[in-house]
Amino acid sequence: MPSPPPPDFASLSLAEIARLAEENRLPPVENWNPTHCGHSDMRIARDGTWFHQGSPIGRLPMVRLFSTILRREPDGRFVLVTPVEKLDIDVEDAPFTAVEMKREGEGEAMRLAFRLNTGDLVTAGPEHGLRFEEREDGPRPYLHVRRGLEALVARSVYYELAEIALANGSTPPGVWSNGSFFALEPGA
């Protein structure tokens, strides 16, 4: 049975986003420990595009399905796991991309919600932290999604975060969400 299409992010309130994220029931991949079966011939590119045997997977419902059985192993590898098989998948950066952000409130009362390229909704806070990493090609912001899986925050969304951080006048510059402060400077 195909999953329903994701809701229109722009029309949702943050309360609705939080409710939908809470209702999103995922398979218990952390409890499945099948034998390793090899490689899936799949790759997730830095921009969040999923590939199979070198070709992009064009059907979003298929990508959404695969994303629900994605797991990060203790050694850092990524695998697709079911109760009966475990297959490696290559991930160039982060397995998800935060492509859209919505904010509500100001200062310490602010809440930030993100829509991922898979349609998943995540509200930043104590359980879904934002972290910022400095790389040769510039800063890279990441959002914790679940169980060690992160979303690379799209550049346009990062600029929105930077604008909020500069406007709130905090030292170091950062943003608040659900009572947690996230400094935009790595290690701050």
Residue 14 pLDDT > 80, yes or no?
no
Q: Which pLDDT band, with edges at 50, 70 and 90, does 8 fall under?
A: low
pLDDT value of residue 160 = 96
pLDDT for position 1: 41
Q: What is the pLDDT of residues 58-104, one digit of tens each?
A: 998 899 899 989 999 999 999 999 989 999 999 999 999 999 999 99
Supply the pLDDT for residue 72. 96
pLDDT tens, position by position, 26-51: 788 888 899 999 999 999 999 999 99
Residue 122, H or E segment: strand 121-123
pLDDT at 188: 61
**More confident call, 23 vs 35:** 35
Q: Tell me what pLDDT residue 182 has.
A: 96
State if pTM tops 0.75: yes
Q: Which residues contact 8 (CB under 8 A, 6 or more apart)?
A: none
Taking the C-alpha atoms of residue 121 and residue 22, their distance in angstroms, rounded to an integer, is 9
> Is pLDDT of 3 > 60?
no
CA distance 11 to 183: 29
- pLDDT confidence of residue 170: 85
Maximum pairwise Cα distance, the chain: 52
User: Are the C-beta atoms of 68 and 26 separated by less than 8 Å?
Assistant: yes
What pLDDT does 155 receive? 93
Q: What is the pLDDT of residues 119-170, one digit of tens each?
A: 889 999 999 999 999 888 888 999 999 999 999 999 999 999 999 999 988 8
